[in-house]
A = this chain, B = another copy of it.
Amino acid sequence: MQTHFTIDCVILTFDEGQLKILLAERNEYPYKDWWALPGYFVNKYEEMEDAVARILLEMTGLKDIYMDQLAAFAGVKRHPEGRILTVAYMALVQMDEVKNKISSGTAYMRQLKWFPVTELPDLAFDHKEIIELSLDRLKKSVNYSTTPYELLPAKFTLTQLQQVYEALLNKQLDKRNFRKKINNLGYLKELNEFQKGVSYRAAKLYSFDKKKFQKTFGQE
């Protein structure tokens, strides 16, 4: 009547025009040497939310990141020792904020690496399925949530925003239509600042006004 209980973390970011996911190379059986989602066991007297934060920190070095529950996976045959129930959580992070903080503080994995979601390696357990579910969920959330802005730095160009949309929706968008739509959203602030360090016309920077978003959407 009891089961082992783990948390797995789907950590996504946007980098080099692509959605990327953070994977760990396992250093333990089963699936030694395979790539897998960062995850570990929940402690006996630990609240699930606390476990999520702890495991995220131990496995990746990241903290203070909001994680959303995806689903529970509980195949009896997932692991030779018997059922391991895992609850998958998903987080969106900004590459700039995170890239120097990533570190695996555990011997249970050998290294961490970002993979474009379009070029995933073979994955341990049912982790491929978990990732696909998370991408599906994200796709549905693009137009109703803060999803795109969680993947971008605080100041971003409209082209970057469009690339995020395109990566999430997995299709190309028309530039003029996209910008028209974005203009009507009402929760983007046009800054008087421009992109730097590019060898072509610098784009204007925008920021996301979370308060306005919540007012117009009534929470989310």
Task: Annotate A68-93 by CB proximity to B: 1 below 8 A, 0 otherwise.
Answer: 01011011100000110101000000
Contact of A82 among B44, B48, B69, B71 (CB under 8 A): B44
Note all chain B residues with C-beta closer than 8 A to A29.
none
User: A51's closest neighbor in chain B, by CB?
Assistant: B74
* Interface residues as binary, A42-61 with B (CB distance below 8 Å gives 1, 0 otherwise): 11111110000000000000
B75→A48 contact, CB < 8 A: yes
A73: min CB distance to chain B, Å: 8
A43 partner residues in chain B, CB cutoff 8 A: 1
**A3 contacts the other chain (CB 8 A):** yes
Note all chain B residues with C-beta closer than 8 A to A42.
1, 3, 74
A108 CB within 8 Å of chain B: no
Interface presence of A5 (CB below 8 A):
yes
Tell me which of A3, A41, A43, A75 has the highest count of chain B C-beta atoms within 10 A of its own C-beta. A3
Bound state CA distance, A7 and B20, in angstroms?
A: 34
Given A2-B4, A2-B5; 13 other pairs, CB 8 A cutoff: A1-B42, A1-B43, A1-B44, A2-B3, A2-B44, A44-B83, A45-B83, A47-B76, A48-B72, A48-B74, A71-B72, A72-B72, A85-B85
* Sampled A-B contacts (17; CB under 8 Å): A1-B41, A2-B2, A2-B5, A3-B42, A5-B85, A44-B82, A44-B83, A45-B76, A45-B82, A45-B83, A46-B76, A47-B75, A48-B72, A48-B74, A71-B71, A71-B72, A85-B87
